[in-house]
Chain A
Amino acid sequence: QVQLVQSGAEVKKPGASVKVSCKASGYAFTAYFVHWVRQAPGQGLEWMGWINPNSGGTNYAQKFQGRVTMTSDTSISTAYMELSRLTSDDTAVYYCARIVLFSPAVWFDPWGQGTLVTVSS
């Protein structure tokens, strides 16, 4: 079945960087963009950006420009999201999600299980 499996929880100190992985299975990895969304504790969902695994092209939300880097390794069907200069405000669960375009409709499905990133001194 179509599945996204993310790496495990991370604890980082302020100022450090974190890299989260998202391994895809059950579909052609290069045929679908991968998006990243985060959710702070008790809060809603915040979109961070996307990567096109086929070309490596990316688009980041303005809020994260200069601090986020999304990459992919097609040989192992894995997307990565790296966030630098972490602060306590970055403590959140980070999700990857596959975007499906069935013109004209668009949706996210599936989502990864989430990766908790805790930033604490």
Chain B
Amino acid sequence: EIVLTQSPGTLSLSPGERATLSCRASQSISSSHLAWYQQKPGQAPRLLIYGASSRATGIPDRFSGSGSGTDFTLTISRLEPEDFAVYYCQQFGSSPLTFGGGTKVEIK
């Protein structure tokens, strides 16, 4: 099983600041098989990034993804009030599909 470790667990930032979220895999995965989701309280996860770096339809360009192999990053260039949420990475490289433990981006 591929374990995804997200860090930090919580990120305390102010609106307008830059957020950098990390997702590290226990073994190498194809960048095509790495996705990022945003989840707000009481809501289902929403697709942000697929293929490690491709933005989903309707996702603002302040969200960007990068990385390869075992290290992946989600960057939010300038935090808007609606961006404060929990973010999960997910791998499709092998079964069982797994998610990272999540990073909560909270208002400082």
Residues of chain A touching chain B, judged by Cβ–Cβ distance below 8 Å, are 35, 37, 44-47, 59, 61-62, 95, 104-114
A59 — which chain B residues lie within 8 A by C-beta? 95
CB of B96 within 8 A of CB of A108, answer no
Question: Which applies to chain A's interface (DSSP): helix, strand, loop or mixed?
Answer: strand
18 contacts between A and B (CB under 8 A): A37-B99, A44-B88, A44-B101, A45-B45, A46-B99, A47-B96, A105-B32, A105-B50, A105-B54, A106-B33, A107-B47, A107-B56, A107-B92, A109-B50, A110-B47, A111-B45, A113-B44, A114-B44
Residues of chain B touching chain A, judged by Cβ–Cβ distance below 8 Å, are 30, 32-33, 35, 37, 44-47, 50-51, 54, 56, 88, 90, 92, 95-102
Take A44-B100, A47-B98 as given contacts and tell me if A106 and B35 are in contact as well, using a CB distance cutoff of 8 Å: yes
B95 — which chain A residues lie within 8 A by C-beta? 59
A104 — which chain B residues lie within 8 A by C-beta? 30, 32-33, 51
**Which chain B residue has the least Cβ–Cβ distance from A114?**
B44
**Which chain A residue has the least Cβ–Cβ distance from B47?**
A109
Nearest CB in chain A: distance from B100 CB, A: 7
CB of A112 within 8 A of CB of B50, answer no
- Give Cα A113 to B90, complex, Å: 19
- Give Cα A2 to B56, complex, Å: 14
> Which of B32, B35, B54 contacts A108 (CB under 8 A)?
B35
A47 — which chain B residues lie within 8 A by C-beta? 96-99
Take A59-B95, A104-B32 as given contacts and tell me if A112 and B101 are in contact as well, using a CB distance cutoff of 8 Å: no
Nearest CB in chain B: distance from A9 CB, A: 13
- Give Cα A106 to B97, complex, Å: 11
User: Apart from A45-B45, A95-B44, A107-B47, what are 19 other A-B pairs with CB-CB below 8 Å?
Assistant: A44-B99, A44-B100, A45-B88, A45-B90, A45-B99, A61-B96, A95-B45, A104-B33, A104-B51, A105-B33, A105-B50, A106-B32, A106-B50, A107-B51, A107-B92, A108-B35, A108-B90, A109-B47, A110-B47
Q: What 4 pairs between A and B have smallest CB-CB spacing?
A: A105-B51, A107-B50, A104-B32, A111-B44
